Structure 1
Amino acid sequence: MMKHGIWRKAVFVFLILPMISGCWNMRELEHMFYAHAIGIDYIDGQYKLYAQILDFSTLGKQEAGGSKSETTEGAWVGKGVGNSFQEAVHHLYATSQRRIYWGHLNSVVLSEAVLKHGIHEVVDQLTRYNEFRYTLWVFGTRNSVEEVLLASPILESSPVYSQLSDPEDVYEQSSFIPPKRLYQLITELREPGKTPLLPLIHLSKGRWVDKKTQYSALELEGVGIIKDGKWNGWLSKEDITGSRWLDRGTVRTPLVIDSDKQPAAVVIFEHPKPRIHPEMRNGKIYFNIGVTVKGSISLMVKEVSEAEIASRSEKLIGEEIRRTFKEGLKQKTDSLNLLDSFYRNKLPEWRKLTQLREFALDAESLQSIDVKVQITNSGRTVGPFSPSK
């Protein structure tokens, strides 16, 4: 009986071995390359793919408090070329010495050229392959895609800490142009009332230096306007400033208050609450906007009352909103995304309107802008110091 028991146990172990061997064919982590960001360009009828591969040795040293690597700046950039996006990817594979793993891909940078060509094929490929995620950060650029991917963060050796990889970190401190994820871009491309505005990243040179070198830093310079999946122009950071007051995602944003054409105070505003009221009269669409926002005085260089600061802030915010609206009209663009509220609240009228004309807005479409500012913290007055007598 004991022999039969031992035999049965041996058979059981033999049968169960195949079931526990599922991890035997897994690759070691150090035997793969990890793509962290990609850039896509379109030149002479061909796609150019740039893949930023992380050097984890520099990241590990940094996390442990070590020094920077002397051989690399935290990443390598590989290139692939092809008549299609997929062909460019496989051209990249040909020179890669290891399997490239895309599961940690964090960001995508699209050149102005590929945006003008159209992004439908690129978006289709990014959403079709199972290792890509819908949560990728998406940027456009008017600079060289390769230079953007090679830019090293200030004081850091790894691109993991760059604005390209973690744009929310900067946005939460100073909210002007909101970062955009892939799923948000796809949603806007499919919504009839939406105008996709893609953050444009570029290299700002000469603003960060040490004793030896001037460094290039990544910065958002504006937004690219996307229409029917293609580039339709762009708006600078100054031109798009008014949109921050209609974005409920705005975390923290400054406003400089002038007095007699001189800076008098700086107010930090948080979490604006916009209201957009669309209406249709005589076959035309009109909008009335309301904004309620609270702010605190961060700096005061002149003696100005809180009531005057609040009144001046209300006027400046209204001017910024109207300016952004007018800058959009120059390119036949709904830069404030006002039409989305009309589409969602008055669908029958929307259908009639879009059948009559291609672009429904004009200079009279934005009627009133009502801004209510509440100063919650007077901050601290800073003036000239005089010696005591």
Structure 2
Amino acid sequence: MRNWLLCASVIGICCLLTGCWDVKSLQDVNYFTGIGIDYENKRYEVYVQQLDFSSVAKTEAGKGDRPALVWVGRASGETLSEAIIELYQTTQQTVFWGHLNSIVLTNRVLKNGDLLGLIDSLIRYPEIRYTPWIYGTDKKIEELFTTKPFFNLSPMNSILYAPETNYSQRPIIAPMRVSRFLRQVREPGETTLLPSLSVTNHTWTQNREPDPKLEINGAFALRNTHYQEWLPAEKLLGVRWLVDRKQGARVKLSEGDERIATLRLSKPRTKVRIAMQDGEPVFHVDFEAVASLLELWKIKSEKELETIAGKQIEEQIRTTHRIGWEANADVLDLEHRLYRRDYPTWKRLTSGGRSPLAPTRLGEVKATVKIATSGMYKMKRRMTPY
């Protein structure tokens, strides 16, 4: 009896051990963290970025002595799968896609490629989820993948992989995940603003030498999957006032060329009303926010600052709307609001969605800003030199 129990125990332990037979060590796997896709001469060019996770772990624990190691692979094919298979020929080890956290599409892909087909081909890999960040770019993908953050930190600490921190400080163009991108490009009448990833050499230096850094410099406007235009961030300032978010934004108040103050807005609330006029929809925008005073350069009353801030926000919304339609892009996404609220009218004016609602008519724009606190400033302090 004792021998029988011993034999059964040994067999049971052996059965449990079989679950670990196919486990691979970390050093035996290639981890792809980013993929970039270009389209040229009717062929897709695929760029992948992989990191040495041993060096990544060291840099994430603190500032490393040397930059994290980065490899960029490149392959091409008539389809995305064909290009990836060609890439496999030189990967040396098993590839794991589960750490993919960023997808970059060039402007040539956005203009000429099959966007939904590309994303569908990529998502069919069982290890890839709908959570990677997605960007457009007009830069070389190799340049984006080899641009490193500060202090020898891991590329995982850059805008490419962690854009939310940057957006919380400068909320103009919201970062986008693949899930949201697919949802928007499939929505009737929806205009998608895909963040544009670029590299700047003009902001930072290291030991008096230019130190390139990643930035979000604008957005690519897409109506469903159709490319419309690229717009710089400076021309999209009005978009932030129509986006539901928790983050506030800073507004520099000025009269002509004279600076007056800087406010930080919080608790933004936007309401878009649709009224019919002569059979056409007119969009009225109401915006409210609470502000705190950050800088005061010229003595103004609280009421005057609130009035200037409201007028400036109203002007930004109107300017962004005008610039968008000059580029044939509904960057304020007003058409989709009509689709949601008055489908019969939208269907009649767009031929069932086959043509865009052009142009959308912007009616009354009203922005109300209430200054809640001036911080350590006194609103009526004397502006005397020290």
TM-score range, shorter chain: over 0.9
2:190–2:224: 8 Å Cα contact kept in structure 1? no
Q: Cα gap change, 1:146/1:250 in structure 2, threshold over 3 Å: closer, same or farther?
A: farther
* Equivalent residue, structure 2, for 1:239: 235
1:52–1:76: 8 Å Cα contact kept in structure 2? yes
Match of 1:293 among 283, 289, 295: 289
Q: How many Å separate the matches in 2 of 1:332 and 1:128?
A: 34
Q: How far apart are 1:231 and its partner, in Å?
A: 2.2
Question: Is the partner of 1:366 in helix, strand or coil?
Answer: strand
Within 5 A, what are the aligned runs for 1:46-85?
A: 46-65=43-62, 67-69=64-66, 73-85=68-80
Q: How far apart are 1:309 and its partner, in Å?
A: 0.9
Q: How far apart are 1:60 and its partner, in Å?
A: 2.7
Q: Cα gap change, 1:261/1:50 in structure 2, threshold over 3 Å: closer, same or farther?
A: same
1:283–1:353: 8 Å Cα contact kept in structure 2? no
Q: Where does structure 1 lack aligned partners over 5 or more consecutive residues?
A: none
What's the % identity of the aligned pairs?
32
2:189–2:223: 8 Å Cα contact kept in structure 1? no
* Equivalent residue, structure 1, for 2:210: 214
Q: How many Å separate the matches in 2 of 1:124 and 1:194?
A: 20
Q: How far apart are 1:80 and its partner, in Å?
A: 1.4
Q: How many Å separate the matches in 2 of 1:218 and 1:271?
A: 29
1:247–1:272: 8 Å Cα contact kept in structure 2? no
**Match of 1:346, as an amino acid?**
D
Q: How many Å separate the matches in 2 of 1:126 and 1:383?
A: 62
Q: How far apart are 1:64 and its partner, in Å?
A: 4.1
Q: Cα gap change, 1:146/1:271 in structure 2, threshold over 3 Å: closer, same or farther?
A: farther
Aligned: 1:34 with 2:40? no
Q: How far apart are 1:269 and its partner, in Å?
A: 1.1
Q: How far apart are 1:347 and its partner, in Å?
A: 1.5
Query: In the TM superposition, what whole-angstrom CA distance separates every residue of 1:317-367 from its partner, at most 9, and x where no partner exists?
Result: 00100111111111222110112221111122222222288232326x101
Match of 2:142 among 139, 146, 163: 146
Q: How far apart are 1:205 and its partner, in Å?
A: 0.9
TM-score, normalising length: structure 1? 0.92
Query: In the TM superposition, what whole-angstrom CA distance separates every residue of 1:20-56 from its partner, at most 9, and x where no partner exists?
Result: 4212211111211111111111111111111110122
Match of 2:317 among 321, 324, 327: 321
Q: How many Å separate the matches in 2 of 1:339 and 1:125?
A: 30
* Equivalent residue, structure 2, for 1:303: 299
Q: How many Å separate the matches in 2 of 1:255 and 1:223?
A: 21
* Equivalent residue, structure 2, for 1:370: 366
Q: Cα gap change, 1:64/1:255 in structure 2, threshold over 3 Å: closer, same or farther?
A: closer
Aligned: 1:279 with 2:275? yes
Within 5 A, what are the aligned runs for 1:148-227?
A: 148-227=144-223
Q: How far apart are 1:384 and its partner, in Å?
A: 6.5
Q: How many Å separate the matches in 2 of 1:106 and 1:260?
A: 44
Q: Cα gap change, 1:40/1:160 in structure 2, threshold over 3 Å: closer, same or farther?
A: same
1:302–1:383: 8 Å Cα contact kept in structure 2? no
Q: How many Å separate the matches in 2 of 1:185 and 1:311?
A: 37
Q: Cα gap change, 1:15/1:252 in structure 2, threshold over 3 Å: closer, same or farther?
A: same
Q: Where does structure 2 lack aligned partners over 5 or more consecutive residues?
A: none
**Match of 1:160, as an amino acid?**
M
2:272–2:284: 8 Å Cα contact kept in structure 1? yes
Q: How many Å separate the matches in 1 of 2:42 and 2:332?
A: 34
**RMSD (Å) for aligned C-alpha atoms:** 2.0
Q: How many Å separate the matches in 1 of 2:61 and 2:330?
A: 48
What number of residue pairs does the alignment pair up?
381
Q: How many Å separate the matches in 2 of 1:228 and 1:66?
A: 43
Q: How many Å separate the matches in 2 of 1:62 and 1:11?
A: 48
2:191–2:223: 8 Å Cα contact kept in structure 1? yes
* Equivalent residue, structure 1, for 2:116: 120
Q: How many Å separate the matches in 1 of 2:369 and 2:383?
A: 29
Question: Is the partner of 2:38 in helix, strand or coil?
Answer: strand
**Match of 2:143, as an amino acid?**
E
Question: Is the partner of 1:172 in helix, strand or coil?
Answer: helix
Q: Cα gap change, 1:302/1:27 in structure 2, threshold over 3 Å: closer, same or farther?
A: same
